[in-house]
Chains A and B, each alone.
Chain A
């Protein structure tokens, strides 16, 4: 490659084109570079605007208070009144309950989704007959092709009514655990977490598959040759080798769960009060933004509070993704993975 470049560009050759003939080349090169730079600049610009728009709310309640106060209570908002630290008078947009809602639902999603995703990846790559691998992987990936609003629809009309007795059973049976118990209404952190688990499953599974497939076959063969059973081979050779990558995959799933909006807003119950247990109704950052931006439009500080919630989502997912990428890149030896399962058959897969 490089050699060919130097043949054309290097030295003074009789074949060298006149500057006029080289112009299109320059234009293309600089045009494409500018395009790439433009995309970065645009994202940076959006980020700065988002910070700018959020500053009103942070100024109102205080940057720190936004995260730790538990009073997302718009009725308390008095125009122009500053938020005194001593009392909550005239003061609102403490997003603690929303932040916690996001954390709780994402945590439930990870607890349910990740083990299933890893098991699926192990089964597909290590256990199932070769000719079923492709179709099986495709089916799991298809879960990512279902739009979130369709998961929401299904959640509202199928999952919530059908799982209500199950939720109540769990609440009653495990009421000795903290944050479990009480009367189940239907929509809850748990249902939202369950739907999120389904939604992150294909991502975590796809990345785990990718990572597991990089385990050198020598390792696996060595384990088998030493008399290990299939499961022991997985435990000894596969899992330790791919731990970092799977961790990264799970984190990419976490990023997805944190930011998911539409499916969550439909099944979380939209209660601004922090739920007492995982089967009560709650709220998440993304759900509040989706629900309230209509009436917030003309109240600058209210609007700004929603942008602040968006900023928190953005920064959180950014951090999670950056960390996740480190793990995945390390695990796959520089192979690039990101939080999109390009469904169903990634060109990335085609390249492999």
Chain B
């Protein structure tokens, strides 16, 4: 066996340098994450108290500015409705793509636009709904929570479709064939075999979409606007965490800015929890 020529020191050096640079860049990429989390905990935890979660913002010029109860519940209301809209439609479209459309021309067009939709800025969805529902005063209201839900649903829809389609395709073809061969009609195959089999994966996709929708500010700005108090009336303006934070950032009062940090920490914790649950669910589905 002949000896290989050793790598020249110049090449070795450039290898070490470049590998080092790539490593450093990776650390640099993680610095913002660490800093954001550090500041959220540093500034946000001090805002957390019982009152913070049990009172509504009161708009008082002086004194205690109130907590974020209405913002948390408002976000839950708006996002829950958006989920109820986007998840069934999204799974429906995905079912069309996997069970019926397959590689047909129309199915590919749908796929294409769903993909492109993910790149549409959220502010544009807000403008769409502003034009179609807010300016038109649909439902007798201008700004209303349900309109915000629709804007968020538009945003969440492509995420649901894409993730659902991937999961539905994972259902083994042999399973469908077996059921069909036994004489089951297609709709029964879909509802009794395909959907139950892919359920955990579908839940993952839905949760990720929820996590994405919960943090969006721009669509709500144009559709829901802001209200201080707690309300269950979806045909009214409503408070929400992102809008509350957005407003509080622009305040000169230290107490209000602290509330913004506390609300931001709350929002991030909610979103991370959703992500973790989704991750756990997707792990499970991979075991199957």
Contacts and interface: CB of A to CB of B under 8 A. Distances in A.
Q: Do chains A and B touch in the complex (CB under 8 A)?
A: yes
Interface of A: 1, 3-5, 7-8, 15, 17, 21-22, 24-25, 27-29, 31-33, 35-37, 39-40, 43, 45-46, 49-50, 53, 115-117, 119-120, 122-124, 127-128, 136, 139-140, 142-143, 145-154, 156-158, 198, 201, 205, 227, 229-232, 234, 252, 255-256, 258-262, 266, 286, 289-290, 293, 307, 310, 313-314, 317-318, 320-322, 324-325, 336-340, 342-348, 350-351
Nearest to A17: B185
Interface string B209-248: 0011011111001100000000000000000001001100
A147 B11 CA distance: 43
A35 B264 contact: no
B201 A123 contact: no
Contacts of B76: none
Q: Main SS of chain B's interface residues?
A: helix
B25 A115 contact: yes
B100 A340 contact: no
A147 B267 contact: yes
B62 interface: no
A115 B166 CA distance: 30
Nearest to A320: B119
A147 B242 contact: yes
Given A120-B25, A149-B264, A343-B211, A338 B158 contact: yes
A196 to B, nearest CB: 12
A149 B267 CA distance: 10
A27 B186 CA distance: 11
B81 interface: no
A128 B24 CA distance: 12
A4 B174 CA distance: 9
Contacts of A149: 215, 217, 242, 245-246, 249, 264, 267
Contact of A136 (B26, B127, B130, B279): B26
Contacts of B80: none
Contact of B120 (A5, A259, A343): A259
The CB with the most chain A CB atoms within 10 A, among B7, B28, B124, B282, is that of B124
Interface in B107-145: 107, 109-124, 127-128, 130-132
Contacts of A252: 119
18 contacts: A17-B185, A36-B97, A43-B113, A115-B25, A116-B28, A122-B22, A123-B23, A124-B26, A140-B33, A142-B275, A146-B33, A153-B249, A153-B261, A252-B119, A307-B127, A317-B119, A317-B120, A350-B201
A128 B22 CA distance: 10
Interface of B: 4-5, 7, 11-12, 14-15, 18-19, 21-23, 25-26, 28-30, 32-33, 35-36, 39-40, 43, 89, 92-93, 95-97, 99-101, 106-107, 109-124, 127-128, 130-132, 157-159, 162-163, 166-167, 169-170, 173, 176-177, 180-181, 183, 185-187, 190, 201, 204-205, 208, 211-212, 214-218, 221-222, 242, 245-246, 249-250, 257, 260-261, 264, 267-268, 271-272, 275, 278-279, 282-283, 285-286
Contacts of A346: 163, 208
Contact of A147 (B127, B268, B283): B268
Contacts of B283: 345
Contact of B110 (A8, A24, A36): A36
Given A142-B33, A346-B163, A229 B7 contact: yes
A4 B106 CA distance: 22
A116 B166 contact: no
A158 B187 contact: no
